[in-house]
Amino acid sequence: MGTDDGNSYLDDETYAKYYARYIPIDTTWQARPFPTGMREQDFGADPLEAFGGFRQLEYDTKAKFPSELALDGVVGWHTTKIDHDGWVNVHYPDIKWEFNQFFLGWGFNQFQAWARTTFIVPDIRHGEGETSSDGLVSITIQLENVGDYYVDDARLSGDWYGYGLTRHTLRLQPGSQHTLSVRVVHEVRIFGGVILPPPSKFKCELRLPFPYGHDGPHGSYQPMVQVVKEGTGGIIVMDAVDGVLAGEHISVALRNVGVQSVVVKSVKVLQGSRVFEAQLADQNKTGIQIFPSTHRPIAIQLQRLSRSAPVVEEYRGEEFTLRFEVETLSPDSAGEGRIGFLTTEALSIAQRKWGEPYLYTFQDFDGTVHYAAAIPPSNPESQPSSSAPVLITLHGAGVEVAQSPFWLTEYTQRERTWIVLPAGRSSWGYDWHGASIKNVMSAIDSLAANLPGVPERLKDLPGITPDPNRLFMAGHSNGGQGAWYLATHFPDKAIAVTPAAGYVNIKQYVPFTGWLSNSYTDAHLRGILESSIIEFDNDVHMSNAVGIPILARTGSVDDNVPPFHSRKMVRLGQEHAHNTSAIQLSEISGQGHWFKGVLHDAVMTTFLQTHLHDTLVTLAPENPTDDEVKAVVHPPFPDTCEITVINPAGMGSKCGVQVEQLRIPYRKGTIKLEVTKRDHGDELPTWIMVTTNIRRFSFTDLPSALQQQSQRRIGKLVVDGTSFDMSENAMSGSYSFVRKEGRLSKTGQLWEISEDDGWKQLERHRETYGPAIQVLEKRVVIVLGTHFDNSYITAKSSAEFARTADRIAKLVAHDIYQYGRGDVEVLTDSQFLARYSKGSLTMEEEEDKRVNIVLIGDGHQNWATGLVLLERESEVTIDTEQGVVSIQPNGQEFHEPGTGLLMIHPWGPSNLAMVIAGLDPQGLESAARLFPKRTGMLVPDWSKFFMLFLVSVLSKVMTM
């Protein structure tokens, strides 16, 4: 063992002893519990802030703090220790939890507390070479079952759901004591609401990183990069079905635990190279850059070599390893760095027989590789049409598709139907909304287009191809809520729906009534905040499900998702249909949340057989024509329908009508449609529409199966009294109908036809609408400003500004990967601008159109921010040199210390930019807390439609 200026460096064997265990953590102190609202803790709401904040308070057995959860309204401190399995258990048996929930339900038993401990980092900087000259040591840290925590003064994101995929890398002073402060939250949705006293526990993993980044025994350089093999989803491979790979892409996530950016240059197969070959999925790039302390799932194209005979036996027992070529960049990311290599452990491909459930992989909307489980139809030739419907099944919280694909067998095997269970991009964090639903659609579209896992001998069979526009939507628990969401938001794709134990929406599953901030916030502002999640209220959109066969299932004593939810949705469906038989409720007496047969008993089987066309084909004539067969594989087109939309961005078509814009965003919009009866057999029907709060709509390019139904063809369209003679072109998606603003013309025409999509260059539309969480529906590039020294504040504060911005960039990247397994690239502003022509951010390549950006810093601190905001006028601006946030058109200004700004802004014709900035480091930190990392967070869109209203309320809230 040698030394270098007093620093110790250990050989690999000695280092492994340190790596194999946690860094020691001392006894943990905890404060007693305080209330918190559902999802409110993500914003940092904390009663202790009124008394200086937990991190400023010293442990004092005599200290008391107010809390409405406890007797006499006060709580104190107590201590606890980590158990032998590494868990810190948080229990408060003396609080009367059962009594507390009598009047507000289980949501009142959601609590938060604080835990604190200390640790000392060993004085070891193994293999960090020149980068250890700062005297600091790298550690990795993560806390399970925790939303956020602090190491000293640095806020980090925990692993709420125990996915096990992520770690933070920190550089800390060795030999000195560091403080770990943990916000402990018993979140009812995660840990349960019926167990009393409510249980909560967390675990801390604090380790030294792998001993990489040194010269090996033969002089080979090993970069500070880890293969993410913990948890589920770090490594994704497909199955093989009768010797056929079910997909052509795999994914291996890498974590950069070093202090310098690295670039993955190439990948190759080592073990197994006679059977497989591999390459990075996107060969147009010079490499895949991984910013320090971030993760990236690397998309890899895997092929079976043609010289290997396509038989199952050659796959059996086959394993392969991958070797990545990695370049470590110099600190300024310029010039060539050191080249090293990283090898995975053995990866294996599971063998399946045709007809068994199997996993297949596909590239999602952002280019990342994801997976789904599938069961093919056993008798596709008997399908009444050339393609097969898809039974899409959405799993509940805590179910991992890769570990239990045979959950699909709960559905009785259908002769003519594909059964697909998507992973849903870690759906627990996204609740089958937004990016999660886009993942579902990508899974189905990929299966239909590529038939992964289908042997060549079967691909030409009639009925083998899945039809992505004929979905039987099903799911359980959170997946049941997802089935309601699909039915109410993408009704034209639904042929039938079976939500089992599905809740109405997140706010009714665990109410938001316990928010602490409600006592401080203007009611009008609360309305605007809540408008950002109203689009996910399935009950509000229930009119869209009218006409779809629906069977809702629930157990009469379900104490997880009470039967109230299913009963309410059924009532709403029947009310909208004006028919008490329109939607069926199957409530099983004495059964709870999950029971044998919930998905495949006699009631379910009958419903499946009826609406998956095992028997429906008998409705066709004895010798049906192609058009007649197509007509029976969809529910009949209605004579009337009512379309409800809150946000066009998350809404598909209903009756072939796609709402493109609302007059007032996030306010309810409706279209009431009536199809008139025809007087003559050859006369096309007239469609009469009456709209409320609709500015623009179009007709979707529906599949031919719907186009053949004569009701779908329009002779005349009447919209709010404005008549149009319809042509085939006007029925296509390239035309839109737009409502004129201002006074009516002399003719009284209120609507007109727009024959191109040029309006998207100047106006907000479905891809640029918002709210803020919509930024996650494309690949995200984080652009980190590098000019915080130009700030008007002191040099010391500028350095703190830069450190805060760097940490926030890593936090955002961490959260997108953790909650949705999204691929996030972090670039400096100069690196980002180098990709585009000088002084312009015009997107020229197709790849650019799939990218949304998150900009850290204002236009002075981040030059990319300045250029993006110049592209299109912004009603909200921030100027750190002048120390002001301005809101137009009234010129309202905010100068207070700690003021921050998070907003979205159109970038180009179809992309979004999110700006995260602050007048000082505290403001930047406050704004970053608003990043919508999971559903249920009340983060609206900044839009000119809200500005006049917001000015009047923000001035009150920000001066509290």
Q: Taking 80 as the threshold, does the pLDDT of residue 692 lie above it?
A: yes
- Classify the phi-psi angles of 247: left when phi > 0, otherwise alpha if psi is within -120 to 50, otherwise beta: left
Q: What is d(CA 149, CA 170) in angstroms, rounded to the nearest whole number?
A: 13
pLDDT band at 618 (very low <50, low <70, confident <90, very high): very low
Q: Taking 80 as the threshold, does the pLDDT of residue 735 lie above it?
A: yes
Q: What is d(CA 568, CA 917) in angstroms, rounded to the nearest whole number?
A: 43
First to last CA, the chain: 58
Q: Which residue has the tokens 């030294």?
A: 208
Return the minimum-mean-pLDDT range out of 49-63, 96-110, 547-561, 832-846.
832-846
Query: Which of the residue ranges 312-326, 382-396, 546-560 has the most confident prediction, judged by mean pLDDT?
Result: 546-560
The answer to whether the beta carbons of residues 763 and 740 sit under 8 Å apart is: no
Which of 325, 283, 321, 327 shows the shortest CA–CA distance to 301?
A: 283
Return the minimum-mean-pLDDT range out of 4-18, 45-59, 889-903.
4-18
pLDDT on residue 680: 62
pLDDT on residue 701: 62
Tokens of 159: 């692993």
Give 534 or 187, the one with higher predicted confidence.
534
Listed in order, strand segments (DSSP E) in 364-464 are 369-375, 387-394, 418-422
Q: Taking 90 as the threshold, does the pLDDT of residue 784 lie above it?
A: yes
- β-pairing, 418-422 vs 387-394, is parallel
Give 806 or 958, the one with higher predicted confidence.
806
Give 743 or 850, the one with higher predicted confidence.
850
Q: Taking 60 as the threshold, does the pLDDT of residue 834 lie above it?
A: yes
Using H for helix, E for strand and C for coil, what is the string for 384-413?
A: CCCEEEEEEEECCCCCCCCCCHHHHHHCCC
Q: Which residue has the tokens 């258990």?
A: 89
The answer to whether the beta carbons of residues 211 and 16 sit under 8 Å apart is: yes
pLDDT band at 90 (very low <50, low <70, confident <90, very high): confident
Q: Taking 70 as the threshold, does the pLDDT of residue 260 lie above it?
A: yes
User: Mean pLDDT for the chain?
Assistant: 83
Q: Up-side HSE of residue 62: CA atoms within 13 Å toward CB?
A: 0
- Classify the phi-psi angles of 20: left when phi > 0, otherwise alpha if psi is within -120 to 50, otherwise beta: alpha
Strand partners, 904: 914
Rg of the chain on CA atoms, in Å: 29
- β-pairing, 550-555 vs 494-500, is parallel
Q: What is d(CA 611, CA 634) in angstroms, rounded to the nearest whole number?
A: 9
Summarize pLDDT for 881-921 with one digit per residue, the tens.
888 888 877 778 888 898 999 999 988 888 999 999 999 99
Q: Taking 70 as the threshold, does the pLDDT of residue 501 lie above it?
A: yes
Measured from the Cβ of residue 768, the count of other Cβ atoms closer than 10 Å reads 23
**Would you call the peptide bond into 452 cis, given omega within 30 degrees of 0 as the criterion?**
no
Return the minimum-mean-pLDDT range out of 442-451, 623-632, 778-787, 920-929.
623-632
Q: What is d(CA 139, CA 131) in angstroms, rounded to the nearest whole number?
A: 14
Mean of the pLDDT values across residues 277-301?
90
The answer to whether the beta carbons of residues 294 and 256 sit under 8 Å apart is: yes
Query: Which of the residue ranges 206-215, 447-456, 520-529, 671-680 has the most confident prediction, judged by mean pLDDT?
Result: 447-456
- β-pairing, 111-120 vs 177-186, is antiparallel
Q: Which residue has the tokens 């809101």?
A: 887
Q: What is d(CA 760, CA 737) in angstroms, rounded to the nearest whole number?
A: 14
pLDDT on residue 844: 59
Return the minimum-mean-pLDDT range out of 168-182, 645-659, 750-764.
750-764
pLDDT on residue 209: 81
Summarize pLDDT for 185-216 with one digit per residue, the tens.
888 888 877 788 887 889 988 888 866 555 55
Q: What is d(CA 561, CA 500) in angstroms, rounded to the nearest whole number?
A: 10
pLDDT on residue 131: 46
Q: Taking 60 as the threshold, does the pLDDT of residue 125 lie above it?
A: no
CA angle 795, 799, 804 (to 5 degrees): 145
Q: Taking 90 as the threshold, does the pLDDT of residue 274 lie above it?
A: no
Residues of the chain above pLDDT 70, percent: 81
Residues of the chain above pLDDT 90, percent: 44
Summarize pLDDT for 307-349 with one digit per residue, the tens.
655 544 444 457 899 999 999 887 665 556 788 899 999 999 9
DSSP 129: G
- Tell me the H-state helices in 239-368: 312-315
Summarize pLDDT for 403-423 with one digit per residue, the tens.
554 455 555 557 888 999 998
Reported pTM? 0.91
Which amino acid is residue 859, in one-letter code? G
